[in-house]
Structure 1
């Protein structure tokens, strides 16, 4: 699986707890027990009952063999308590065999007590304390004069108390470690499941290329979709730079637009990588088109770049690229734009000719009957509508081709607005609408007055068409300050018309989009006016905001940077 060895997919391992097997828990006691027996010839000149010492050793060996070879997993956990209990028996035999001359042997009982407390919880605490008490009191039976002293009482209280405290501490520690281990194991299982699910989803996404890289652009994950789009196998791309797949000249051009030139060749790859990831380097999702050079063909892909958060086991962040093939879509858009541009240019000449001849016919207006003059008015009105449509198509084609520019000059937005209102008044009167200009005074800025007039015409036309008879459309232009203190011009067009559905407001500036309120009411139009308005606003580095409530009306607010524009000539 191509994603299986990705370093950013975690593989957690839960550490084993200490004393995690039956044999391990007995080895410590057996080792110290063996050392104690080995030093007996050094510290004791003569053993009264060596048979008991040998028996003690054999008992402990039997305990070790049982711990190693008996099937403890098949039995209840309580069965394991027999081993430390038996070890205490071996300890008593050792003490009896030495006639109690080495009373320090009783301290060894703390090891079985620890084992019982670790494995059996509170039951082990009680059993371990009882064994400690027995290991102290039983030697008093065969040690002469031992019972008559206060040592028995002292040891009979101190050793069991120490054993009890130690057992409680070990039991609580074991319980906490087990809980932590269970939580880590559950987390590891969850992450492992999530990792496998994610890897499966990445591999199943054959229509989208999913590529994971480190911070420098080295490929770490390359799914089936990426193999399909690029024509390269995952094993060939993992460990290589992602930049090898695309057209570097595109990134160089973007960098040049941003004001810096990238050196040719591999020396400029770090800068190209910075352009490719864009705002994703700062934690923001970044989308752009990129030409992917495959082995068989070149494709245009839509890249979505995100910065992934480091996962357990990661040393640093990386990037995730999701690429969708939009070659056919971009070719279709380009063909449509070329067609619109061509048709618009071809239509403009005959329409202009028609309007010219209509003007000539109007010069001989006296020779025409009233019915003929009416015909001419219909022809001229429809020819003008067609010319406006062609002009809109041409402008939209310029915007899409990147050839749309504005001519900055001193302009008074109040004059532009007043001229647009005067042109729209006849239509407003015919529809029984109130058209009000509440601009308080001049609004000077540096802008293209022709394009601003077109923008205002589109907004007014849109408001008037969607306001029923008896309604009101109010326009207003004022000069204000931005939050940062910069001067700005604000244009507002507000109506109390039919409004726009909330889920369609964000699409109003898409070209050829028409709201459902327009289609239901059969309002004429092709859906280019607001698209062109947005292009004009963008060209002036402004902002267009739309707020609408269906059934209550719509407000368009255009904010343009005003700067320190000088006074403008009246429009």
Structure 2
């Protein structure tokens, strides 16, 4: 059972340890050196040496005065220049003790290391210079004031060089540490500002176990809880369903990659759709791999950084937009079918119409077909958004392209644009012939619309192996038309986006053609590449893999 005295000692030790790094604990930090000076003075007084007692007593007095000032005068509140008095006083005490000890070898001078290092650790160049000067004077004082020393000059030079070199090295090290501390403090302030300003995105930092260690103001807004309540919460409890694992939430981030996902959950009584990205907070890269003998390996993450965005409003808007498109297109398609039917009936008896009437019928048919194409594009967009899967049939991509060319040729002839087909004679591919045809139709229509009179649209179809080694096709459509500006090229596949050139020339369309091409190519697991230069034309390359493997998987 611990004694009362032992408990008091432990309590005092704990208090000293807690107070030691604080500015007001200067007295505690000077106490060991003061005791050391007193102890050396006692030892010197007991050894039969030619001691100069007044100097030894003066050394002890100076040391005790420094201790009193450090303990009672609150030096932490002094200016930096006045704070130099304490270590300079210690140097004076050591010098007096060295001169009064009578030791012919000058061993006491080694105590100058303590106040010298103390001065070197004070910020700024002035304390270092003051320390170097006073330490050097203290080391050479015996040369002039003590006559019985062994090689006083050599001893003073060696001692001064050692202490001054260590002081300079310590000053450089502590300056580097302080610069790093300032950089870390600035980075911490910046991160705190970012976390506070990020009100639209929820930024969450966790430790390696998935427990939250920081949360932004956006996280407070998303999860409807203050940051102090979020910190310490398990990520699986915050974002996962019952029984969810941390590995399932962070995905590839556990192996050093990034994980993007979406989760739906009721927060505050309302359904939310949240997209989130998880990246690792890497640990120490020098840590060895987990398996013995395997050498250094990737460090385990110290935790994870999660950036979550509430996309509920966007999802609802897209859903309303798709519903509107579907409703409008269905309402338009029925009267369009009727109009085209009656137009075809009128064409059955051309003799019953005058020349002018037949021209009216052709105008009516042309515009009705154009409107039907627009409606078909809108319906296709709605079906793709609804997740309708494409069919899978063995087709010849060249035949599909030839059919599209035949469909577009009247428009090209009217615009005085030549169409040219090259490449392989046959390119077999498993695809959806209707959707593949729509891809080519849209590309050809765009190329013709943006070509100048007398221009040419070049189409190339070749067999090209897919990335997985299976069959594939490459379809290239190039024109020498107006081209696309660089700032518009990245937006050209956005829904309903129309370039400045199309608006300037009042080219018909609503900006869905390339959007559908991108959606159809992505549905086919292919790639769409668009290269363009204003005034030089545009080249669109579609690479499509054989869809047979996917069809088998879905089946």
Partner of 1:231: 224
1:31 aligns with 2:39: yes
* 1:417-460 Cα shifts (integer Å, max 9, x gaps): 12222222222221111211122421122222222111111110
Q: Which residue of 1 aligns with 2:163?
A: 170
Q: Secondary structure at the match of 2:508?
A: coil
Question: Equivalent residues in 2 for 1:417-428 (5 A)?
Answer: 417-428=401-412
Structure 1 pair 86/363, CA: closer, same or farther in 2 (3 Å)? Answer: closer
CA distance in 2, matches of 1:61, 1:472: 103
Equivalent of residue 505 in structure 2, options 510, 517, 521: 521
Q: 1: distance between equivalents of 2:279 and 2:93?
A: 63
* 2: CA distance, partners of 1:210 / 1:84: 53
Counterpart in 1 of 2:382?
A: 397
Of 261, 275, 280 in structure 2, the residue corresponding to residue 307 of structure 1 is 280
Report 1:250-289 matches (<5 A). Answer: 265-266=242-243, 269-270=244-245, 273-289=246-262
Q: What is the distance in 1 between the residues matched to 2:323 and 2:37?
A: 90
CA contact (8 A) 1:210 1:320 kept: yes
Is 2:206 the partner of 1:213? Answer: yes
Shift of 1:14: 9.9
Which residue of the partner structure matches residue 14 of structure 2?
none
How far is 1:75 from its partner? 4.3
How far residue 60 of structure 1 moved from its aligned partner, in angstroms, is 2.6
Task: State the alpha-carbon separation in 1 of the partners of residues 312 and 89 from structure 2.
Answer: 75
Q: Measure the CA separation in 1 of the matches of 2:223 and 2:267.
A: 4
Partner residue in 2 for 1:241: 234
**3-state SS of 2:423 partner:** coil
Distance in 1 of aligned mates of 2:373 and 2:229: 56
Give the superposition deviation at 1:495.
Answer: 0.5
Whole-Å Cα distance in 2 between the matches of residues 22 and 232 of structure 1?
48
Change (3 A) 1:343 1:125: same
Q: Does 1:444 align with 2:437?
A: no
Q: Judging changes above 3 Å, is the alpha-carbon distance between structure 1 residues 64 and 79 closer, same or farther for their aligned structure 2 residues?
A: closer
Q: Mean Cα displacement is larger for which, 493-502 or 20-29?
A: 20-29
Offset of 1:548 from its aligned partner? 0.6
- 1:212 partner SS: strand
* Distance verdict in 2 for CA 1:59–1:391, change over 3 Å: same
Give the RMSD, CA atoms, in angstroms.
Answer: 3.4
What does residue 55 of structure 1 align with?
Answer: 54
Indicate how the Cα distance of structure 1 residues 108 and 410 shifts in structure 2: closer, same or farther if over 3 A, else same. Answer: same
- Alpha-carbon distance between aligned partners in 2 of 1:448 and 1:412, rounded to the nearest angstrom: 11
Q: State the match for 1:411 in structure 2.
A: 395
Match for residue 290 of structure 1? 263
Aligned equivalent of 1:377:
362
> RCO greater where, 1 or 2, for CA within 8 Å and sep 6 or more?
1
In the alignment, the residues of structure 2 paired with residue 29 and residue 247 of structure 1 have an alpha-carbon distance, to the nearest angstrom, of 64
The range that moved more, 186-195 or 539-548, is 186-195
Structure 1 residue 510, shift from structure 2 partner: 1.8
CA distance in 2, matches of 1:477, 1:338: 37
Give distance in 1, aligned partners of 2:270 and 2:301: 35
**SS of residue matched to 1:517:** helix
Alpha carbons of structure 1 residues 178 and 22: separation in structure 2 relative to 1, 3 Å:
farther
| 1:334-349 equivalent positions in 2, closer than 5 A | 334-349=319-334
- Residue 373 of structure 2 is aligned with which of 388, 393, 414? 388
Cα pair distance change 1:90/1:424, threshold 3 Å: closer
Give the direction of change, closer, same or farther, for the CA distance of 1:90–1:353 in structure 2 (3 Å limit): closer
Shift of 1:540: 1.9
The equivalent residue for 1:138 is 147
Q: Which residue of 2 aligns with 1:551?
A: 535
Distance 2:358 2:487 in 1: 47
Alpha-carbon displacement from aligned partner over 1:456-509 (angstroms, at most 9, x marks no partner): 111100100001111111000111345675443111000111111112212222
Q: Could you state the TM-score of these two structures normalised by the residue count of structure 2?
A: 0.79
Shift of 1:316: 4.1
Shift of the 378–122 alpha-carbon distance from structure 1 to 2, 3 Å rule, reads: same
Decide which structure has the larger Cα Rg and report it: 1
Distance in 2 (CA, whole Å) between partners of 1:83 and 1:277 is 58
* CA distance in structure 1 between the partners assigned to 2:400 and 2:21 by the alignment: 73
Asked if the contact 2:94–2:109 (Cα under 8 Å) also holds between the matched residues in 1, the reply is no
- Checking the alignment, whether the CA contact within 8 Å between 1:232 and 1:294 is kept in structure 2 is no
Q: Does the 8 Å contact 2:110/2:159 carry over to 1?
A: no
**Separation in structure 1 between the aligned mates of residue 508 and residue 211 of structure 2, nearest angstrom:** 54
Alignment check: 8 A CA contact 1:304 1:322 kept: yes
CA contact (8 A) 1:230 1:294 kept: yes
On the 8 A contact 1:113/1:163 being kept in 2, the answer is: no
Partner residue in 1 for 2:491: 507
Q: Distance in 2 between matches of 1:15 and 1:553?
A: 72
Q: Give 1:259's aligned residue.
A: none
Match of 2:295 in 1: none
Structure 1 residues 367 and 508, CA, compared in 2 at 3 Å: closer, same or farther? Answer: same
- Contact 1:117–1:123, Cα closer than 8 Å, also in 2: no
Q: Using the alignment, how far apart are the partners of 1:396 and 1:84 within structure 2?
A: 85
Task: Choose 376-385 or 361-370, whichever is displaced more.
Answer: 361-370
What is the count of residue pairs matched by the alignment?
496
Structure 2: tracts of 5 or more residues without a match: 1-19, 120-129, 286-298, 550-555
Q: 1:463 to 1:274 in 2, by over 3 A?
A: farther
C-alpha distance in 2 between matches for 1:115 and 1:454: 85
- Residue 439 of structure 2 is matched in structure 1 by 455
Shift of 1:408: 1.8
| Whole-angstrom CA distance in 1 between matches of 2:402 and 2:229 | 66
1:167 Cα deviation from its structure 2 partner: 2.2
Match of 2:480 in 1: 496
Question: TM-score normalized by structure 1?
Answer: 0.77
Residues 215, 356 of structure 1: alpha-carbon distance in 2 compared, 3 angstrom cutoff = farther
1:188 counterpart (181, 194, 200): 181
Asked whether the equivalents of residues 477 and 492 of structure 1 are also in contact (C-alpha less than 8 Å), the reply is yes
Q: Secondary structure at the match of 2:442?
A: helix
